[in-house]
Structure 1
Amino acid sequence: MREKLRRERERTRRLRELNKKMEREIESLQNEVTRLRRKLEELKDEEAREIRKERTYQRLQDETQNLRDRLKKVTAELEAYRERFNALKRPRELESRGEMIPLKPVERFTRSGLERSFKLYHVRVGDHILLLDGSGGGSSTAETLAKRGVKVVLTRTPMAHQAVEVFSKYGIPTIKIKDGDIEWIEGLPYIKSTILRKLLEASREEESERAIKEISLILEEHRRELRYRTEGGPSAS
Structure 2
Amino acid sequence: MTTAVVGTRYHAWDLIIHAGPMVKLVLLILIMASVLCWTIIIAKYYAFRDAKRYTALFLDDFYEGSSWDDLFKKMNLFKSSPLAHVFQAGYTELQKNPKKEGPDQPQFDNIIRALRRAITSETTRLEKTTYFLATTGATAPFVGLFGTVWGIMNSFQGIGATGVANLAVVAPGISEALIATAIGLAAAIPAVVAYNYFQSGLKVFVSEMENFSHDFTNILKRNG
Tell which has more relative contact order, 1 or 2 (C-alpha 8 A, sep 6+): 2
Query: Normalising TM by the smaller chain, what interval?
Result: under 0.3
Query: Of Structure 1 and Structure 2, which has the larger fraction of its residues in strand?
Result: 1
Please give the TM-score of this superposition, normalised by the length of structure 2: 0.27
Q: Which has the larger radius of gyration?
A: 1
